[in-house]
Amino acid sequence: MNEKVIIGMSGGVDSAVAAYLLKKQGYEVEGLFMRNWDALLNNDTLGNPTLNEEICPQEKDYNDALKTCEILNIPLHRVDFVKEYWDLVFTYFLKELEKGRTPNPDLLCNKYIKFDAFKKEAKRLGAKYMATGHYARLKDGNLLRAIDENKDQTYFLAQLQKEQLEDVLFPIGDYLKEDVRKIAIELGLNVADKKDSTGICFIGERNFQKFIQNYLKPNPGDIVDVATKEVIGRHNGLMNYTIGQRRNVGISGYDKRHYVCGKNVAQNILYVAFGEDSKYLISDSCLLENINFITDKRPSNCTAKFRYRSKDIPVQLEYLENGEIKVNYKEGCKAVTPGQFCVFYQGEECLGSGIIKSVWKDDEILWYLK
Protein backbone atom coordinates (compact mmCIF):
# COMPACT_ATOMS: atom_id res chain seq x y z
CA MET A 1 0.00 0.00 0.00
CA ASN A 2 2.82 2.41 1.01
CA GLU A 3 0.49 5.38 1.50
CA LYS A 4 1.77 7.63 4.26
CA VAL A 5 -0.27 8.11 7.44
CA ILE A 6 0.54 10.50 10.28
CA ILE A 7 -1.08 9.31 13.49
CA GLY A 8 -1.53 11.37 16.63
CA MET A 9 0.49 9.63 19.36
CA SER A 10 -0.74 10.64 22.80
CA GLY A 11 1.38 8.28 24.86
CA GLY A 12 -1.67 6.13 25.57
CA VAL A 13 -2.71 2.61 24.64
CA ASP A 14 -5.38 3.55 22.07
CA SER A 15 -3.11 5.54 19.76
CA ALA A 16 -0.37 2.93 20.22
CA VAL A 17 -2.56 0.07 19.01
CA ALA A 18 -4.04 2.26 16.26
CA ALA A 19 -0.51 2.86 14.96
CA TYR A 20 0.21 -0.88 15.03
CA LEU A 21 -2.99 -1.69 13.12
CA LEU A 22 -2.17 0.86 10.42
CA LYS A 23 1.31 -0.57 10.00
CA LYS A 24 -0.17 -4.08 9.82
CA GLN A 25 -2.48 -2.89 7.04
CA GLY A 26 0.52 -1.83 4.98
CA TYR A 27 0.57 1.93 5.48
CA GLU A 28 3.78 3.91 5.88
CA VAL A 29 3.17 5.08 9.45
CA GLU A 30 4.72 8.00 11.30
CA GLY A 31 3.71 9.36 14.67
CA LEU A 32 3.14 12.98 15.70
CA PHE A 33 3.02 14.10 19.32
CA MET A 34 1.21 17.37 20.05
CA ARG A 35 2.27 19.68 22.86
CA ASN A 36 -0.73 21.92 23.46
CA TRP A 37 -0.27 23.11 27.02
CA ASP A 38 2.69 24.84 28.66
CA ALA A 39 2.67 23.45 32.19
CA LEU A 40 5.68 25.46 33.34
CA LEU A 41 4.76 28.91 32.16
CA ASN A 42 1.22 30.07 31.45
CA ASN A 43 -0.55 33.40 31.46
CA ASP A 44 -3.25 34.50 33.85
CA THR A 45 -6.18 36.67 32.82
CA LEU A 46 -3.92 39.74 32.90
CA GLY A 47 -1.26 38.14 30.73
CA ASN A 48 1.12 37.63 33.64
CA PRO A 49 3.05 34.36 34.02
CA THR A 50 1.87 31.89 36.63
CA LEU A 51 4.18 29.26 38.04
CA ASN A 52 2.14 27.94 40.94
CA GLU A 53 0.36 25.03 39.27
CA GLU A 54 1.34 21.40 39.26
CA ILE A 55 3.46 20.20 36.36
CA CYS A 56 1.40 18.57 33.61
CA PRO A 57 2.57 15.03 32.76
CA GLN A 58 2.99 15.86 29.06
CA GLU A 59 6.69 15.05 29.09
CA LYS A 60 5.93 11.61 30.51
CA ASP A 61 3.33 11.13 27.79
CA TYR A 62 5.89 12.17 25.16
CA ASN A 63 8.43 9.71 26.53
CA ASP A 64 5.80 6.97 26.53
CA ALA A 65 4.91 7.79 22.91
CA LEU A 66 8.60 7.80 21.97
CA LYS A 67 9.12 4.37 23.52
CA THR A 68 6.02 3.00 21.78
CA CYS A 69 7.27 4.25 18.42
CA GLU A 70 10.64 2.62 19.06
CA ILE A 71 8.90 -0.71 19.74
CA LEU A 72 6.78 -0.35 16.59
CA ASN A 73 9.79 0.90 14.60
CA ILE A 74 8.13 4.09 13.38
CA PRO A 75 9.46 7.66 13.58
CA LEU A 76 7.90 10.19 15.97
CA HIS A 77 7.62 13.91 15.21
CA ARG A 78 6.76 16.57 17.75
CA VAL A 79 4.87 19.83 17.26
CA ASP A 80 3.74 22.70 19.53
CA PHE A 81 0.20 24.04 19.27
CA VAL A 82 0.32 25.91 22.60
CA LYS A 83 -0.73 29.25 21.11
CA GLU A 84 -3.51 27.72 19.02
CA TYR A 85 -4.87 25.85 22.02
CA TRP A 86 -4.80 28.97 24.19
CA ASP A 87 -6.41 31.22 21.57
CA LEU A 88 -9.04 28.84 20.21
CA VAL A 89 -9.90 26.47 23.07
CA PHE A 90 -8.78 27.60 26.51
CA THR A 91 -9.88 31.24 26.07
CA TYR A 92 -13.35 29.98 25.10
CA PHE A 93 -13.33 27.71 28.17
CA LEU A 94 -12.60 30.67 30.49
CA LYS A 95 -15.23 32.91 28.87
CA GLU A 96 -17.89 30.23 29.27
CA LEU A 97 -17.01 29.78 32.94
CA GLU A 98 -17.30 33.54 33.46
CA LYS A 99 -20.83 33.32 32.05
CA GLY A 100 -21.66 30.72 34.72
CA ARG A 101 -21.95 27.97 32.12
CA THR A 102 -20.41 24.47 32.07
CA PRO A 103 -18.26 24.24 28.93
CA ASN A 104 -16.82 21.16 27.30
CA PRO A 105 -13.56 22.22 25.62
CA ASP A 106 -12.84 18.75 24.22
CA LEU A 107 -15.16 19.29 21.23
CA LEU A 108 -13.44 22.52 20.25
CA CYS A 109 -10.05 20.92 20.82
CA ASN A 110 -10.97 18.38 18.16
CA LYS A 111 -12.39 21.05 15.86
CA TYR A 112 -9.50 23.50 15.99
CA ILE A 113 -6.47 21.46 17.06
CA LYS A 114 -6.63 17.73 16.25
CA PHE A 115 -8.60 17.98 13.00
CA ASP A 116 -7.31 21.36 11.83
CA ALA A 117 -3.83 22.38 13.05
CA PHE A 118 -2.73 18.74 13.40
CA LYS A 119 -4.15 17.76 10.01
CA LYS A 120 -2.35 20.65 8.32
CA GLU A 121 0.91 19.54 9.96
CA ALA A 122 0.31 15.97 8.80
CA LYS A 123 -0.14 17.19 5.23
CA ARG A 124 3.01 19.31 5.56
CA LEU A 125 4.88 16.14 6.52
CA GLY A 126 3.71 14.53 3.29
CA ALA A 127 0.90 12.33 4.59
CA LYS A 128 -2.07 11.30 2.50
CA TYR A 129 -4.03 10.44 5.67
CA MET A 130 -4.14 11.45 9.30
CA ALA A 131 -5.27 9.04 12.00
CA THR A 132 -6.18 9.15 15.68
CA GLY A 133 -7.00 6.68 18.42
CA HIS A 134 -10.62 7.81 18.71
CA TYR A 135 -13.32 5.19 19.16
CA ALA A 136 -15.37 6.13 16.10
CA ARG A 137 -15.97 4.91 12.54
CA LEU A 138 -16.30 6.46 9.10
CA LYS A 139 -18.38 4.97 6.30
CA ASP A 140 -19.06 6.74 2.99
CA GLY A 141 -18.07 10.03 4.64
CA ASN A 142 -20.52 9.56 7.50
CA LEU A 143 -19.42 9.58 11.14
CA LEU A 144 -20.64 6.43 12.92
CA ARG A 145 -20.55 5.29 16.52
CA ALA A 146 -17.78 2.90 17.52
CA ILE A 147 -18.47 -0.81 17.92
CA ASP A 148 -17.68 -0.40 21.63
CA GLU A 149 -20.71 1.61 22.75
CA ASN A 150 -19.19 2.21 26.18
CA LYS A 151 -16.10 3.85 24.67
CA ASP A 152 -17.72 5.55 21.67
CA GLN A 153 -16.26 9.06 21.25
CA THR A 154 -18.38 10.48 18.44
CA TYR A 155 -19.86 12.90 21.00
CA PHE A 156 -16.48 14.68 21.08
CA LEU A 157 -16.30 14.81 17.27
CA ALA A 158 -19.71 16.41 16.76
CA GLN A 159 -18.42 19.93 16.08
CA LEU A 160 -16.34 18.76 13.12
CA GLN A 161 -17.33 19.67 9.58
CA LYS A 162 -17.62 17.01 6.91
CA GLU A 163 -14.47 18.28 5.15
CA GLN A 164 -12.43 17.79 8.31
CA LEU A 165 -13.17 14.06 8.21
CA GLU A 166 -11.77 13.64 4.70
CA ASP A 167 -8.53 11.62 4.59
CA VAL A 168 -9.06 10.60 8.23
CA LEU A 169 -8.68 7.09 9.64
CA PHE A 170 -10.00 5.70 12.93
CA PRO A 171 -8.22 2.31 13.17
CA ILE A 172 -9.73 1.15 16.49
CA GLY A 173 -13.34 2.08 15.81
CA ASP A 174 -14.17 -1.56 15.05
CA TYR A 175 -12.53 -2.87 18.24
CA LEU A 176 -13.65 -3.28 21.83
CA LYS A 177 -11.47 -1.58 24.41
CA GLU A 178 -10.68 -4.92 26.04
CA ASP A 179 -9.39 -6.21 22.70
CA VAL A 180 -7.23 -3.11 22.25
CA ARG A 181 -5.67 -3.83 25.65
CA LYS A 182 -5.11 -7.47 24.67
CA ILE A 183 -3.33 -6.46 21.48
CA ALA A 184 -1.09 -4.08 23.41
CA ILE A 185 -0.22 -6.81 25.92
CA GLU A 186 0.52 -9.34 23.18
CA LEU A 187 2.83 -6.83 21.47
CA GLY A 188 4.60 -6.04 24.74
CA LEU A 189 3.84 -2.34 24.37
CA ASN A 190 5.06 -0.13 27.21
CA VAL A 191 1.61 1.48 27.56
CA ALA A 192 -0.41 -1.76 27.64
CA ASP A 193 -1.55 -1.19 31.22
CA LYS A 194 -1.47 2.61 31.24
CA LYS A 195 -4.54 4.25 32.73
CA ASP A 196 -6.79 6.18 30.35
CA SER A 197 -6.38 9.95 30.61
CA THR A 198 -9.17 12.03 32.13
CA GLY A 199 -9.69 15.68 32.97
CA ILE A 200 -9.61 18.71 30.68
CA CYS A 201 -8.32 18.02 27.17
CA PHE A 202 -4.50 18.26 27.17
CA ILE A 203 -4.44 19.78 30.65
CA GLY A 204 -5.18 16.59 32.53
CA GLU A 205 -6.36 15.76 36.01
CA ARG A 206 -6.09 18.65 38.47
CA ASN A 207 -7.73 20.21 41.49
CA PHE A 208 -10.12 22.19 39.32
CA GLN A 209 -10.86 25.01 41.77
CA LYS A 210 -7.18 25.66 42.51
CA PHE A 211 -6.24 25.42 38.85
CA ILE A 212 -8.92 27.79 37.56
CA GLN A 213 -8.05 30.42 40.18
CA ASN A 214 -4.85 31.00 38.22
CA TYR A 215 -7.01 32.54 35.51
CA LEU A 216 -10.34 33.65 37.01
CA LYS A 217 -10.73 35.62 40.22
CA PRO A 218 -13.11 33.94 42.71
CA ASN A 219 -16.40 35.79 43.14
CA PRO A 220 -18.20 34.51 46.27
CA GLY A 221 -21.97 34.88 46.57
CA ASP A 222 -25.11 33.53 48.21
CA ILE A 223 -26.36 29.95 48.09
CA VAL A 224 -30.16 30.05 48.03
CA ASP A 225 -32.76 27.33 48.68
CA VAL A 226 -34.69 27.34 45.40
CA ALA A 227 -37.96 26.40 47.16
CA THR A 228 -37.94 28.85 50.09
CA LYS A 229 -35.68 31.58 48.57
CA GLU A 230 -33.77 31.51 51.88
CA VAL A 231 -30.04 32.20 51.90
CA ILE A 232 -28.43 29.07 53.34
CA GLY A 233 -24.72 29.53 52.67
CA ARG A 234 -21.98 31.07 50.55
CA HIS A 235 -20.43 29.77 47.36
CA ASN A 236 -16.87 30.51 46.22
CA GLY A 237 -17.65 31.36 42.59
CA LEU A 238 -20.32 30.06 40.20
CA MET A 239 -17.59 28.74 37.89
CA ASN A 240 -16.90 25.97 40.42
CA TYR A 241 -20.35 24.35 40.22
CA THR A 242 -22.42 22.50 37.66
CA ILE A 243 -26.09 21.57 37.44
CA GLY A 244 -26.87 18.32 39.26
CA GLN A 245 -23.76 18.50 41.46
CA ARG A 246 -24.30 16.87 44.86
CA ARG A 247 -20.85 16.89 46.44
CA ASN A 248 -18.80 19.80 47.78
CA VAL A 249 -21.66 22.25 47.39
CA GLY A 250 -20.51 24.21 50.43
CA ILE A 251 -23.43 24.21 52.86
CA SER A 252 -23.31 22.66 56.34
CA GLY A 253 -25.82 21.76 59.04
CA TYR A 254 -28.29 20.10 56.67
CA ASP A 255 -28.95 16.37 56.87
CA LYS A 256 -31.12 16.23 53.75
CA ARG A 257 -29.57 15.35 50.42
CA HIS A 258 -29.18 18.38 48.21
CA TYR A 259 -28.04 19.26 44.73
CA VAL A 260 -27.20 22.29 42.59
CA CYS A 261 -30.17 23.11 40.38
CA GLY A 262 -29.38 26.55 38.99
CA LYS A 263 -27.32 29.72 38.75
CA ASN A 264 -28.22 33.39 38.43
CA VAL A 265 -25.12 35.02 37.02
CA ALA A 266 -26.47 38.58 37.15
CA GLN A 267 -27.15 38.31 40.91
CA ASN A 268 -24.30 35.83 41.55
CA ILE A 269 -26.66 33.31 43.20
CA LEU A 270 -26.22 29.53 43.36
CA TYR A 271 -29.56 27.72 43.72
CA VAL A 272 -29.77 24.46 45.66
CA ALA A 273 -32.69 22.02 46.05
CA PHE A 274 -33.21 19.57 48.92
CA GLY A 275 -34.48 16.01 49.13
CA GLU A 276 -34.61 13.05 46.80
CA ASP A 277 -37.11 14.77 44.49
CA SER A 278 -35.15 15.92 41.44
CA LYS A 279 -37.98 17.96 39.93
CA TYR A 280 -35.78 21.04 39.68
CA LEU A 281 -33.44 19.13 37.36
CA ILE A 282 -36.16 18.13 34.89
CA SER A 283 -36.72 20.08 31.68
CA ASP A 284 -38.63 19.28 28.48
CA SER A 285 -36.89 21.48 25.92
CA CYS A 286 -33.80 23.55 25.35
CA LEU A 287 -32.49 26.12 22.90
CA LEU A 288 -29.23 25.54 21.01
CA GLU A 289 -26.76 27.96 19.46
CA ASN A 290 -23.51 27.47 17.50
CA ILE A 291 -25.09 24.69 15.44
CA ASN A 292 -22.86 22.37 13.43
CA PHE A 293 -24.04 19.59 11.12
CA ILE A 294 -21.60 17.01 9.76
CA THR A 295 -24.19 15.74 7.29
CA ASP A 296 -26.70 17.31 4.90
CA LYS A 297 -29.51 15.64 6.85
CA ARG A 298 -31.85 17.93 8.82
CA PRO A 299 -34.21 15.53 10.58
CA SER A 300 -37.27 16.56 12.56
CA ASN A 301 -36.98 13.47 14.76
CA CYS A 302 -33.78 11.88 16.04
CA THR A 303 -32.06 11.13 19.34
CA ALA A 304 -29.71 13.33 21.34
CA LYS A 305 -27.09 13.13 24.07
CA PHE A 306 -26.88 16.09 26.44
CA ARG A 307 -23.59 14.92 27.99
CA TYR A 308 -20.99 12.38 26.96
CA ARG A 309 -22.13 9.63 29.30
CA SER A 310 -25.86 10.38 29.06
CA LYS A 311 -28.33 8.07 27.35
CA ASP A 312 -29.85 8.78 23.97
CA ILE A 313 -33.11 10.69 24.35
CA PRO A 314 -35.76 10.83 21.58
CA VAL A 315 -36.10 14.48 20.52
CA GLN A 316 -37.96 16.65 18.02
CA LEU A 317 -36.03 19.50 16.39
CA GLU A 318 -37.48 22.91 15.50
CA TYR A 319 -35.27 24.90 13.14
CA LEU A 320 -35.61 28.61 13.95
CA GLU A 321 -35.13 31.49 11.51
CA ASN A 322 -32.16 32.88 13.48
CA GLY A 323 -30.24 29.65 12.94
CA GLU A 324 -30.82 28.29 16.43
CA ILE A 325 -32.60 25.01 17.14
CA LYS A 326 -35.23 24.27 19.76
CA VAL A 327 -34.92 20.69 20.99
CA ASN A 328 -38.10 19.18 22.44
CA TYR A 329 -38.07 16.08 24.65
CA LYS A 330 -41.55 15.90 26.11
CA GLU A 331 -40.82 12.94 28.39
CA GLY A 332 -38.36 15.13 30.27
CA CYS A 333 -34.64 14.88 30.96
CA LYS A 334 -32.43 15.55 33.99
CA ALA A 335 -29.65 18.11 34.33
CA VAL A 336 -29.64 19.59 30.83
CA THR A 337 -27.02 22.28 31.38
CA PRO A 338 -26.25 25.60 29.63
CA GLY A 339 -22.81 25.52 28.02
CA GLN A 340 -22.79 21.78 27.40
CA PHE A 341 -23.17 20.30 23.91
CA CYS A 342 -26.29 18.58 22.65
CA VAL A 343 -25.23 15.97 20.07
CA PHE A 344 -27.67 14.56 17.50
CA TYR A 345 -27.82 10.95 16.33
CA GLN A 346 -29.86 8.98 13.84
CA GLY A 347 -29.26 5.35 14.62
CA GLU A 348 -25.51 4.80 14.61
CA GLU A 349 -24.76 8.01 12.68
CA CYS A 350 -23.62 11.17 14.48
CA LEU A 351 -25.28 14.12 12.73
CA GLY A 352 -23.84 17.14 14.54
CA SER A 353 -24.31 19.28 17.61
CA GLY A 354 -25.07 22.63 19.20
CA ILE A 355 -24.32 24.40 22.47
CA ILE A 356 -27.14 24.53 25.02
CA LYS A 357 -28.10 28.20 25.38
CA SER A 358 -31.15 27.98 27.66
CA VAL A 359 -33.29 25.31 29.32
CA TRP A 360 -37.10 25.26 29.36
CA LYS A 361 -40.09 23.51 30.89
CA ASP A 362 -43.75 23.93 29.90
CA ASP A 363 -42.69 26.52 27.30
CA GLU A 364 -41.06 28.76 29.90
CA ILE A 365 -37.38 29.26 30.53
CA LEU A 366 -36.37 27.91 33.96
CA TRP A 367 -35.95 31.04 36.07
CA TYR A 368 -33.27 29.49 38.26
CA LEU A 369 -31.18 28.69 35.17
CA LYS A 370 -31.21 32.16 33.60
Residues annotated as part of the active site: 109, 201
**Residues 242 and 102 sit within 8 Å (Cβ to Cβ):** yes
Q: What is the 3-state secondary structure (H, E, C) of the chain?
A: CCCEEEEECCCCHHHHHHHHHHHHCCCEEEEEEEECCCCCCEECCCCCEECCCCCCCHHHHHHHHHHHHHHHCCCEEEEECHHHHHHHHHHHHHHHHHCCCCCCHHHHHHHHHHHHHHHHHHHHCCCCEEECCCCEEEECCEEEECCCCCCCCHHHHCCCCHHHHCCEECCCCCCCHHHHHHHHHHHCCCCCCCCCCCCECCCECCCHHHHHCCCCCCCCEEEEECCCCCEEEEECCHHHCCCCCCCCCCCCCCCCCEEEEEEECCCCEEEEEECCCCHHHEEEEEEEEEEEECCCCCCCEEEEECCCCCCCEEEEEEECCCCCEEEEEEEEEECCCCCCEEEEEECCEEEEEEEEEEEEECCEECHHHC
Query: What is the CA angle 166-300-351, rounded to 5?
Result: 20
What does DSSP say about strands 42-43 and 313-319: parallel, antiparallel, or unpaired?
A: unpaired
